[in-house]
A and B are shown apart, each in its own frame.
Chain A
Amino acid sequence: MTEVLLRSLALAAASSAVLLLVAAPLAYLSRRPYPGRTLVETLLLLPLALPPTVLGFYLLLLLAPEGPVARLLGFELAFSFPGMVLGAALFSFPFAYTAYREAFRALDPALLETARTLGAGPGRRLREVVLPLVWPGLLSGTLLAFAHALGEFGVVLMVGGNIPGRTQVASTYIYELVARLELEKAHQASLTVLVLALALVYLTRSLEERWRSATGSPGPTR
């Protein structure tokens, strides 16, 4: 049980870290329109509308031992932990991306412009203006992605295969326990996940509140 839960946490941590590194810069760029933005966003938000099994199925085809990724790049990700990280990250992408986008949108462009006129180059603007103002938004988006990845089932099952000791995580473990009618154990595991999820979502909400008050209108328009 502990091992399965730890793997779940590791999967959630790894996939949300990937999202912070990939989705946050993309969300920052999307503040302004660029050619093809609608198409790019459609692809990025697609996992919202896809059954996880469909996403998992195509990923499996891509990542399979004889699949295109293995042939072209030379590594196999199917039924491995990195493959699951990729799947979970893709599936949580819309949630993280939307949260990051909102965080950046709440940033008043006049602050960045004024920082320029005050002599601050791109590095200082990012470090001293953007990050201090958006970090609660980024953190809450990442926590949301973390919570989402923790509860992921379909993609993880398809790509990971629920191999005990290798790719079995809390959600697939509970599914197996129920299938084997070991309801007492299933109950224990479910309760643990429930408490964890509750704590995470609560933390996310509190951060959002705090972030809203930090970026609230400053002085002049009162």
Chain B
Amino acid sequence: MEVRYRITRPYPLEAAFELGRFTALLGPSGAGKTTLIRALAGLVPGRGTPYGGLPAERRPVGYLPQNLALFPHLNAWQNVAFPLAHLPPGERKERALALLGRFGLSEKADRRPAELSGGEARRVALARALAREPELILLDEPTAGLDRPNRSQVLRAILAALSSGNVRALVATHDPELAQAADRVVVLERGKVLQEGPSDRVFNHPASPRVAQLLGYENRFSGRVVQREGELALLATEAGRLYAKTELPVGTRVGIFLRPEEVLIVREGRPLSPVDAQNTLVGRLRCVRRMGPVVEAEFQGRIELLLRLPRHVEDRLGLATGEIRRVVLKPRYLQLFSEEEDSFSSE
């Protein structure tokens, strides 16, 4: 299924991309994610496919706005039954209760929205959006503002909804966990699609420095290609000589991007391959922060790097502020962009 939309108001936006079963719409605030979702729902004037020209009432979509818009005067099952007006009353209630049951909300069927928790309210709204068996559900930040258990519960509910039936989902989100569960990703900025494709591909091969930045490649330094060695190239960088995977010709000035999660700390006493040995930096851990299941550290060597690792890995390494450590920058995790591209898009 292909989406091709052009919107002029309230913001100019042009988007064309392939819709997978579960497509994540990523981008900074103000990129136009909500506008695109609303245009697909028929609430913002837009031209294109699918559903162009159909009034909102007749589009086969389920829409979940950021504030959920549960009807405050109706209880949970009445909210879910609202879109089932074409059925006889008895059947409406039965269907609504069955849907609530699927989302583990049977006991909350008689509660008003104000009496539900944030996660429960979202699941009720999701059940309501699915009640008419839409072709496409449009979810605007479905996990924003939720705590971790509620977030994963909502994510599981979305995945469960997608695994049964023929519904697809387009989800605007900032939540990396949610985005990585998607099979396709669309990166939007200032009303334009910067990159779209299968999520592995987009996350591991961002098309531009800007996309890399938006997808969490928080470390950046520069260098120049000095020598080619097969599929690898040797770079002279601010951090020293490093190998990287690139096709760029010798002499190209490059910006190098790296995720904090993909800076590896060397466990002393382990042998390193020659390439990894070349890509090793020595430096001091300036600051080690434990943030629940994640540990962040600032590394100060010839360059500064941000490191992020799961706590169970850190448990084995035993990091402490002020320590001298070696880190490896694996060639395949280094994303290179020729400097012209870099300066062009970071203006």
Contact = CB atoms under 8 A, between A and B. Distances in A.
Contacts of B115: 219
A30 B114 CA distance: 29
A128 interface: yes
A113 B59 CA distance: 13
A116 B131 CA distance: 14
B141 to A, nearest CB: 11
Interface stretch (A18-26, A76-84, A117-125, A189-197): A117-125
B69 to A, nearest CB: 4
Contacts of B33: none
A76 B132 CA distance: 57
A220 to B, nearest CB: 5
Contacts of A133: 72-73
B291 interface: no
A93 B141 CA distance: 43
Interface in A94-118: 108, 110-111, 113-118
B65 A215 contact: no
Contact of A114 (B59, B69, B117, B131): B69
A221 interface: yes
A219 B68 contact: yes
A218 interface: yes
B72 A214 contact: yes
A113 B69 contact: yes
A222 interface: yes
A220 B125 CA distance: 10
Nearest to B83: A118
A214 B41 CA distance: 28
B68 A113 contact: no
> How big is chain B's contact interface, by range?
35 or more
B85 A219 contact: no
A69 B342 CA distance: 76
B63 A117 contact: yes
A132 interface: yes
A62 interface: no
Interface string A187-222: 000000000000000000000000000111111111
A117 B145 CA distance: 24
A222 B132 CA distance: 28
B70 interface: yes
B56 A113 contact: yes
Contacts of A117: 41-43, 56-57, 59, 61-63
B42 A220 contact: no
Contacts of B38: 113
B17 interface: no
Given A219-B116, A219-B117, A220-B121, A120 B85 contact: yes
A117 B38 CA distance: 10
Contacts of B58: 119
Given A114-B69, A219-B113, 8 more contacts: A118-B82, A118-B83, A128-B82, A216-B114, A218-B121, A219-B118, A220-B121, A221-B145
Interface of B: 38, 41-43, 55-59, 61-63, 65, 67-73, 82-83, 85-86, 112-118, 120-122, 128-129, 131-132, 145
14 contacts: A108-B67, A111-B71, A115-B82, A116-B42, A116-B55, A117-B41, A119-B58, A124-B85, A128-B82, A214-B72, A218-B113, A219-B70, A219-B116, A219-B117
